[in-house]
Structure 1
Amino acid sequence: MSDFDPNPTHRNFYGRRHGKTLRQSQKGYLADDLGTLRPRGITVQDNPDRTPIDPAAIFGDDRLIWLEIGFGGGEHMVAMAARYPQIGIIGCEPFINGVAMLLGKIRAAGVSNVSVHPGDARDLMDVLPDGAVARAFLNYPDPWPKARHHRRRFVTPEHLIPLHRVMAPGAEFRVATDIPDYMRQTLEEVPRAGFSLVHEGPEAWDDWHSTRYEQKALREGRVPHYATFRR
């Protein structure tokens, strides 16, 4: 496995970093593939001064960049990469089991327009320049259902204000969740951070690719909701 340490020293992190024991093949993906797919200059370890990075250096050209925040098992991210090969997609996910699953899917799909930060999305937003991101996705984020934990949700100023800064004018921010209270907080907090609501409801986007978390929600009788915001 890579010698990467995903635990930054400059902020708190809530949530799991490891789950079930990885299969041998998944350990191989981490050892062989993560090093070449991980963007440089993101972590405190390799960029302690938090110097802004050049987004063009990630993919080797000035293509548009999309950001997936918490890609889970990687189903949506890989599908978007395959559908839009001219776009560069950066995925952030601190749960190493999800990272390993994504790397396996990248191999299977043969996509090359992806970059993987196995850590907190805030690390990346620290060092991206203003207006670098053309579209962002937040799909089935951790709901943190207890009221005292709502401040840990992504849809809080701590996350949304940096996200607004790194997104380009007119950029699209998509949110999908099956938790009504999460969508309530999303509809309250995201506009306060400077975004405009474009659409919200049970209809998914035309290019939406369902995730394992959505399928679980559907099996358990929960109704997905989707919201689109404009920066």
Structure 2
Amino acid sequence: MSTPVRPRRNFYGRLKGHNLKQSQKDYLDQDLAALSPGAVDWEANPRREMLDTVEMFGDKPVWLEVGFGGGEHMVHQAANNPDTGIIGCEPYINGVAMLLGKIRRAGVENIKVHPGDVRDMFDVLPAQSISRAFLLYPDPWPKTRHHRRRFVTQEHLEPLHRVLKPGAIFRVATDIEDYVRQTLEEVPRYGFEWLAERPSDWRESWDDWLSTRYEQKALREGRVPHYLTFRRI
């Protein structure tokens, strides 16, 4: 069987910020490899062989967080849902280091971490293997010419639909009104239904929500969070 051709993908955004603390460097050196979900990068898995989620988490349902930022929400969910496995993808290495420190302090053991592009993860996740997905305060790309860079576009939503189980929940949180507009326009086009029945369904946070540092910044600056819940159909 021939080796798949790597698609041409542009990446937009930061990969690294300020200099890491020594403790954060230690987390990356000592913990990251053990928390890897497997061969996700093309260099390590050029044939794009599928990951084995049962090998990772046993028979637990598997959740996916896209762009976990500093990781506080993912660790919160992992601690409160020990019978669930959670995969997080984040290319910003400072955020990955922050997450690793939180994992150590919380002592959670049901998280896998991919320090890279979620599109590479989509390539190797089996179809209908994910029970829930989170997109929380994604990069807003506010300029009109940059809206195609947002997650809520065909390039991301089609593979997200493929890896989600029928009936799986997809949560989106954002404080950017135009991101809400684009989300409500685009997500249903790719096999999702919006579950809101009343204004409180998008104005009030989920019962198991942990407010992230990005949300706290939005509130300080006077922006209003929106909580959108979709179901894969």
User: Would the TM-score normalized by the shorter structure come out above 0.5?
Assistant: yes
Between the aligned partners of 1:10 and 1:104, the Cα distance in structure 2 is 33
Of 34, 37, 41, the residue aligned with 1:36 is 34
What's the TM-score, normalizing by structure 2? 0.94
- The residue that corresponds to 1:57 in the other structure is 55
Of 94, 116, 125, the residue aligned with 1:97 is 94
- The residue that corresponds to 1:206 in the other structure is 207
Q: Match of 1:30, SS?
A: helix
- The residue that corresponds to 2:116 in the other structure is 119
- The residue that corresponds to 2:227 in the other structure is 226
- The residue that corresponds to 1:24 in the other structure is 22
Alignment of 1:25-174 (within 5 A): 25-59=23-57, 61-174=58-171
Identity of matched residues, % = 67
- The residue that corresponds to 1:185 in the other structure is 182
What's the TM-score, normalizing by structure 1? 0.95
Q: What is the aligned-residue RMSD (CA, Å)?
A: 1.1
Q: Match of 1:207, SS?
A: coil
Whether the 8 Å contact between 1:40 and 1:46 is mirrored in structure 2 is: no
1:197 is the counterpart of 2:175: no
Could you tell me which runs of 5 or more consecutive residues in structure 1 were left unpaired when the two chains were aligned: 1-7
Between the aligned partners of 1:35 and 1:41, the Cα distance in structure 2 is 11
**Residue-pair matches, total:** 223
Could you tell me which runs of 5 or more consecutive residues in structure 2 were left unpaired when the two chains were aligned: 1-5
- The residue that corresponds to 2:3 in the other structure is none
